Structure 1
Amino acid sequence: MSLKYVIQILFTLLPLISAGPIAGRGTDEAVVLANCASSWGEWSSEMAYYSSGGKSPSGTPAATAVARSGSFQTWEGAPVSAKFGDGNVFTANIPRPVGSGMYAGTGQNSQSSFYCYQDAGSVKYPLSNGATCTSVYVCDHSPPGISVAISSNENYIELVGLGNVNPQDLFNEVWSRRGATSCDTTAVDLGQGCSITFTCDGGIPWTTTNGMSSTLHDIVGSQSAIANHWTTTSTVCTAWVGESTGPVCIQETQETIYHTSIAQTIQITVTDLSNNDVQGQLTYDLACSPPQADCTLLNDLIQGLNGAASVIAPELAPVFGVAQAAFTAEENGSC
């Protein structure tokens, strides 16, 4: 073969060689969603393909694709696509920002699906112009396990005359009501005409119902905004004497009355993220006085749960028997 033909063949293959092996070639591959910045203020974003490393790729990527030039790409809120040199398009779909290391959304290319996780800069690589690219998300083939979603509305129930009620004591009743795959829906009498009822179903016997019960008691019950406590005083007669016109109080005392306003209902939904099927649900309902709307407490509860999501999620994973868990809280009322 002449040198001329060798050079022609080389130039024919060169675009494919520089494009690199694009995502979809192995189970340990990863696509990094990165923001790139230079010391002189030039910004861009790109997707970087690694043929190995899974969630912890390192070194120089096998191929890159520009997602945005001149500024950083907003990765959350809408699908983002970039085209690699071989024509393969990778699309990342990340609905909203999540905590460090948490499951964030999905990725897709011509060959397969990916799971994307928040990654605050563990992967870094240089560009030829001297800029440095830093990971924001890493997408690979490791499924996230489950997501646990908490939802509630603005209705709060006032409990009076039951002492200083600890929400975790109320939620502890779930353990006597939960079974392998469902809950006994018989109401638990709390006194003073109040009761609590649990409804649940679990796809994996005991694992799901136990996991949801732990979530309710340990996670939801420990939130300060799940309830509001205050006291009032009442004058009570402790000694009487008889008079012709009727009994007369001769001794009084001040009695402290405890009030607890607590969320009327909360639902826990567990979703298998490998197929987006609901694995289980648990709901509690309080019955007592007519509910009152309290948007302030509800918003504090939702913000508190979401603010602690990066701490809560790793705690939930072993409870549900999975490698990883995602956690969110949302309001389903009218606040």
Structure 2
Amino acid sequence: MRTTTTSWSAFMAGILVSAPQSVLGQKTPNENLVLADCGIGLGVNGGSTSREMIYYPGDVWTANGQTNRPTLMVNVPWNGAYPWGPQGAFATMPNGDKWSIWLNDKIKDPNAAGDAYHSMEPDKPLKCYSYHKDKVYQLADGKWCSSAYVCNHRGSPNVLTVKPGSGGGSSGGGSGGGKDETRITASTNGDSVELYETTANSIIATVRKTFKDGSTDCDQTPIGIGSKCTIKWKCHAADSKNNALGKMAGAYDLMAARSEFSSRRESKWDICKRPDTRPGREGQCQQYETKIDHYVRLPRSIDATMDNIPPAGSGRNPNVLGWMNYEITCESSAFACTICNAIGTSMGVASGSLGAGVTLGCAAAGC
């Protein structure tokens, strides 16, 4: 081998973003996280039977005092102490969003008592308010959950996005005009992997191997993609009839075609094809042959959520139609900030064929 040369395809210096500025600044400005105690009075010594984090993409309460339906919920196991306090509470939602909450449990209603952070938008913490209200959500076993704290970006534990009397609720009418919007929002943390002799498109295409007829979930069996790596897909659709999984897979296809998403590298190796055996020239080469190896670098993981966004003033909350994520695991890999540096704050992806706007955001510590 005589020389080795490496050339990377150039990333875009600037990115044209087609998503609205409000979306780029914050993906979920109206979200609420309720920290709830469930089955109060039915637990040991009259305590609660479970503690839950309950996620709402919009309002918790309607204008008439009822509650909207949450889209995600996770149980917070009892670890020997009441979780809503200064020691911190940690849980991961079914869509992979990791939550961390720190509270001052001495603060009284309805004052700010702490902060909540989540991995899908780590630079936009929610302020948590002490707010005790009964019958916020009823579990499948009939037990009622009461709020202990409500976390959001809105300056108060209970703020309506519609005026009282306009309908409210998750299915009310309202006077807002226009049509519902379907939006697919994706995020990555900047970690990347490099794979040998493959393409980003072929790797992303593996998601369709995980679809099962009539199912709203992916087969989570890891799939080999070469370079001693596997890819594992997780996904869920609220309804098998809305083709949410197919549309989100299409969004991943569109992202894979973008230069901000992946990069290619060539390594050229000059290999001696005919060694020189003439006296006095041993160890030299009379003829070289160039061997070219191809590599692709892409994000190690991406999380995507597909939402239905009602028109402003409709009195209806956004609702999650489905979510999808993948994670690539390798025996050895080099992580880098290349992906985040290319994407920047957010990348809009042309998506007319999907009937849904697609935005890929990136947040990585130190990038």
Q: Using structure 2 for the length normalisation, give the TM-score.
A: 0.44
Choose 1 or 2 for highest CA Rg: 1
Q: Using structure 1 for the length normalisation, give the TM-score.
A: 0.48
Higher relative contact order (CA 8 A, sep 6+): 2
